[in-house]
Amino acid sequence: MRFLTGLTFVFVVSGCTGDLVEIGPGVRADMSGVVPDMAQGGGGEMGPNSAKFFPDIQADVDQLTCSLVGCHGGTQIPVLKPTPTAQADKDANYTNFMTDVNTTAPAQSPVLTKNLPGASHGGGAKFTGTNDPKYIRWLNWIAAGAPKQ
């Protein structure tokens, strides 16, 4: 029994890359549901916190019309190019977007607070409230450290 406990400990510490983990020649253990993969936000390959700036947040920015020429696609700070393809443009968009991101206090990030109803934002509210799916995705993305790609 002590041997089996040791094996379980090894798998918990090392994490798993799938539901079945090989523990010996021809022996597999079902590890589904044992320990969520924290590197993936506890939700597997496409977990709830798996959003990245590219393509997820950038797609939202474009869909919400933030990157139009009359808004942040023009001269409004932060300047954001619509659907960038060149790496330099992607890097610039991420760097510029991050000026309104607060990873220490995600809910206080200007990119979130300025886009809520009643906030002072020339482009108007982009989120319907704190329960808006895009608001939640952005909040989770910021809380996860605002990964770029």
Is residue 6 pLDDT above 60, yes or no?
Answer: no
Is residue 12 pLDDT above 50, yes or no?
Answer: no
Which pLDDT does position 55 carry in this prediction? 94
* Mean per-residue pLDDT, 45-60: 80
* Mean per-residue pLDDT, 73-88: 93
Average predicted confidence (pLDDT) for the chain: 77
Please state, for a pLDDT cut of 90, what percent of the chain lies above it. 60
**Model confidence band, residue 50 (pLDDT cutoffs 50, 70, 90):** confident
Please state, for a pLDDT cut of 70, what percent of the chain lies above it. 67
Is residue 148 pLDDT above 60, yes or no?
Answer: yes
Cα 51 to Cα 54: distance, rounded to the nearest angstrom: 8
Is residue 56 pLDDT above 90, yes or no?
Answer: yes
* Mean per-residue pLDDT, 107-134: 95
CA atoms within 13 A on the CB side of 107: 3
Torsion of CA 134, 138, 140, 144, to 10 degrees: 150
* Mean per-residue pLDDT, 30-53: 47
Is residue 73 pLDDT above 50, yes or no?
Answer: yes
Helix (H) or strand (E) holding 30: strand 27-30
Whether this prediction's pTM lies above 0.95 is answered by no
Cis amide prior to 78 (ω within 30 degrees): yes
Query: Residues 48, 62: contact at Cβ < 8 Å?
Result: no
Torsion of CA 140, 141, 145, 146, to 10 degrees: -160
